[in-house]
Structure 1
């Protein structure tokens, strides 16, 4: 085993192969970071909610509420925004409806379709997540050293990677 720049243990076979292919090294590091960053974001949200005594909503549900925002949409539309898998959305929306964070109504045009939107209770959770992000933004440039330009480059690269993966699925590349 060998420790990479991110502190992850890599088997020697992978290390040897990636030395010959530096793009693979960076690609695998990026994949690891993407997964780790999402888990860490959930941890940050969980910690913030636990500190304030908000045990009813888990971090995934809080992000769902944040991403619904002021929209009125279907679970399918929420899924296509790219944040969630279908069963995950359905399960968490059911729990959020039961807890009074989300309203849902059958569409008058298509009875199979259910439209969802936040209740005032859901809006309060959405606002809490937004405040958390605002607190982070107040210091991210000074503490982490990430500027607007670096975020632009990062977002452009991640968007291109997302497009690449989407094309892999759509066109079976």
Structure 2
């Protein structure tokens, strides 16, 4: 992505070492991808600790995206950016294993509505408890919490920027 010389992005990049800033920006996607794989590894380990072996880490993420809501398959796919055939396969497995209840919509009998079963709620509650413990290990003092919040806000800004680049074909982003 080229920045205009007088744009806010260029001003920020030029304030610091431009080579370092650009290389950090370009490396972020790779770091996030590695973090996602590592996160799935952590979920796999936690599933083993609580004796759950009939669900994959990706399927756990789908459960967590459903949460306490009742939503359509389309809403879930948009919420988690899932691909159609992959989402269908994983949802079928979650229903068959008893983690998700799938029913017809009251308004449109053709549309499926999803919600967690008791088994799915139990698993999500267990994993939230474990995530709370992990966050406690990461956040030892107030500065740690501030750093984590800053990281979160930065990643969300980057997500919005990339979404805008896709949505607006990279035009007029400044």
> TM-score band (shorter)?
0.7 to 0.9
Gaps of 5+ in 1: 1-18
1:172 aligns with 2:169: yes
Provide closer, same or farther for how the CA distance between residues 102 and 82 of structure 1 changes in structure 2, counting only shifts above 3 A: closer
2:148 matched to which residue of 1?
A: 151
User: Which residue in the other structure is 1:141 paired with?
Assistant: 139
- C-alpha RMSD of matched pairs (Å): 2.1
Find the residue that maps to 2:54 and give its secondary structure.
coil
Q: Do the aligned partners of 1:66 and 1:127 also contact (CA within 8 Å) in 2?
A: no
- Counterparts of residues 79-94 of structure 1 (less than 5 Å): 79-94=77-92
Q: Which runs of 5+ in 2 are unaligned?
A: 1-16
Q: TM-score, normalised by structure 2?
A: 0.80
Aligned with 1:125 (options 120, 123, 141): 123
Q: Per the alignment, in what secondary structure is the counterpart of residue 117 of structure 1?
A: strand
CA gap of 1:164–1:152, structure 2 versus 1, over 3 A, is: same
Tell me the CA shift for residue 83 of structure 1.
4.7
Structure 1 residue ranges (4+ consecutive) displaced by more than 4 angstroms after TM superposition: none
Distance 2:80 2:50 in 1: 29
Taking structure 1 as the reference length, the TM-score comes to 0.80
- Structure-1 residue corresponding to 2:72: 74
**Could you say which residue in structure 2 is the equivalent of 1:162?**
159
